[in-house]
Each structure stands twice: as C-alpha cells, then as structure tokens.
Amino acid sequence: MKFSNFLFTASMDPNKDDQVIDEALREGQLCDELGMDMLWLAEHHFDGICAYVDPVSFAAALAASTKRIHIGFAVAQMSLHHPIRMAEQMALIDNISKGRLLVGLGRGTAYNVYDYQGYGIDPKEAYERLLESEDIMIKAWTTENYHHKGKYWDIKLPQLRPRPYTKPHPNIVRACSGEEAMLGMAREGRPFLMNIQTNETTRQRMDLYRKTLRDSGYDEATVARNVDNTWVWRNIFVGETDAEAERIAMPAWHTQQEFRAAMRKKVYAEQGLMLKEEKVTPARDQQQHSILCGSPDTVAEAIAEIDDIGVGGLILVFRLGPMPYDVAAHSIKLFMSKVAPQFQRGPAIAA
C-alpha cells in the first residue's frame, strides 16, 4: 500500500493566509524528506477551506522544492480551467518535476457555488466541460496541428510547448464521488480516486470495480495495475497514545467539519441554493468513518482493515482544521516511523 499526504490546509483567518501557505509548503517538504509516496493538492476558492487555492501554482512550488515525492491533484476543477492553458501548465510542471506529476481531474465542487460564480461558470455545465477539456488536453499533448471544435471550446494550435516530460503525456486520474462514475472508469480501464466512504462501501466499490474491469475484457495484469493506482481518502492523526490522539485530534476535526458546513449554510442563507442535497449524513461527517485516530498500533490496525480491501494507496489528511503545523508534523513523523513500515508498499507511481 502506498501512502500520501493530502495538503488540504485551511486558513480560517484571512490575515494568516501567508503563514498557512508557508506551512503547507514546509509540510510537503517534510513528507518528501521522510520518504512518503505522494502529495495531493485540492482546489477551492473564496472561502479559506484550501489556503493556497490554486493547485497548479502550488504544485510548481512543490516540484521545485522537493526531490522525489510525487505530486497530484485531488482534484483540479476542470470546469474552471482553460484546457490548453492547463495542458501547458501541466507539461511545464511535468518537466520541472521530472515526471513526478499526476494530473487528478474532477468536474468541480458539489458544495461551493462561489467557485462557479466567481469564474462565471454555470455548475450545470461542469461535467460536460470536464469531459471535453480532458480530451483536448490529451490531444494537445500528443498531436501536432491540432484542431478542435466542440460545445465549449474552439481551438487551433500548431504544437503545444513545452512537450511533456512523461511520454506520451502526464498520467491522468479521475475523482469519482459516486458509484456510476467509478464504473465508467472501470469500463475505460482507468484508475480513480475515491472520496471518504465507510470501509463497507469502499469494499463494495472496489469489488465492483474489479469485476467491471474483468467484465470489460481487461486481463489480470491490467486489473492489478489499475487497482494499484486507485486511491481512497481518510483523515488521520497519530499520537503517542490513544488518549493523546483523541484529545488533540478530535476538537480540530470537529472544527474542520463545522468550518466547511458553515460555508454551505452561508450560501443557502444568501441565495437559497444548495448544489448537492444529502438525505443521510455522509461518511465524511461521521467520526468513525472519516478519521483514523490513535496510537501507532491503533492506526496501523485501522489501516490494515483498508489494506485488506485491496486499494493502491491512502490519501491522508494529517493537518486537521486549525491544528498547528508542529502538531501535524509530529503526527506525520510518527506515522512514517512507526506505522508505514508495517506495510509492504509498492513503487510511488506505476506507469
């Protein structure tokens, strides 16, 4: 199993944005030094939920200031990006990082309408824009004298420069919040990113994903490769003891959840608008499913249950809400010294 840090760093005070951004960069550099496999970056605008806001710019900073760790997006909101500009930026970061980039794409947030309104995009167009943009990016990376005329983009260019470092193009992965989207990736023979789910749902989806790959005609080597490049998300905190971990992590986790929920309530109060109505409490808001918390042995036991399901890697958020950097850094160090070595890990990223 591979391990990663999701730098989903919140800034609850606009006056401290610069401090939180600096600390997120330090956190990424620490993970590189400790030998973690991946860093993941988010994209959220106008609300402080993601302090650095733009994963593209932040990925470039990380690529230039780390040596071996891979850098991915979980995810870039493609409805907010021009596909050619994005293709150029990805090719540049792919070159700077010498192939350490994983381009994680999604349609856009299902919760914050400010993202769409700030960019003048209709959220109803988001999924179609994702599909068209992804196709444009792949063709731009691999085709000379490329012409495209679609629903949202009319493009003509001789050759995209710089050419990607990774051939034929940087690896792409798609985030799938629902089962149907995951099945689409399986039918195409592609890996995916899974949001926070219960272990039971994670197992059900992974079993169905493998079955659909096989039913779609893919051989066992392809099934294994795709599973190895599929990642699932959890929050995490490792303390010296269970009691210490509970005391430190849970207030921070609750504050994080309340901060995100407050933004959604604010939008609804202002505009009477909710992008996604949830009839049951999602797993991300349930402590027992959302966060792995405890001593190294307790956390290792929890990870072993997920490892038994058979996934490629864990996307782990170490710094929760208002948690100080030094506290999160100590949790990361405990994880890498006492938890991660208990698991057999594969290469950072398979081709």
* pLDDT greater than 90 at residue 269: no
Mean pLDDT calculated for residue range 80-100? 98
Show the tokens assigned to 52.
């650095």
Write the pLDDT tens digit of every residue in 228-238.
999 999 999 99
Quote the pLDDT of residue 348: 44
* pLDDT greater than 80 at residue 336: yes
Write the pLDDT tens digit of every residue in 36-54.
999 999 999 999 999 999 9
Mean pLDDT calculated for residue range 172-187? 96
Quote the pLDDT of residue 345: 57
Q: Domain ranges in the chain? A: 2-342
Mean pLDDT calculated for residue range 102-119? 92
How many whole angstroms from its chain centre is CA 204? Answer: 21
Quote the pLDDT of residue 275: 79
Burial class (CB in 10 A: 0-12, 13-18, 19+), 288: exposed
Write the pLDDT tens digit of every residue in 198-228.
999 999 999 999 999 999 999 999 999 999 9
- CA distances 244 to 214, 292, 293, 295, 323, Å, are 45, 14, 10, 8, 14
Mean pLDDT calculated for residue range 111-129? 93
* pLDDT greater than 50 at residue 349: no
The rounded distance, in Å, linking the Cα atoms of 267 and 245 is 33
- CA distances 298 to 76, 199, 304, Å, are 33, 16, 10
CATH of the domain spanning 2-342, picked from 3.60.10.10, 3.30.930.10, 4.10.640.10, 3.20.20.30? 3.20.20.30
Q: How many percent of the chain have pLDDT more than 70?
A: 98
Question: Among the listed ranges 105-109, 272-276, 334-338, which one has the minimum average pLDDT value?
Answer: 272-276
Among the residues of the chain, which ranges form H helices?
A: 17-34, 55-65, 83-96, 113-119, 126-142, 179-187, 199-215, 220-228, 242-271, 287-290, 296-309, 325-334
* pLDDT greater than 50 at residue 315: yes
Rounded to 5 degrees, what angle do the CA atoms 46, 49, 51 make? 80
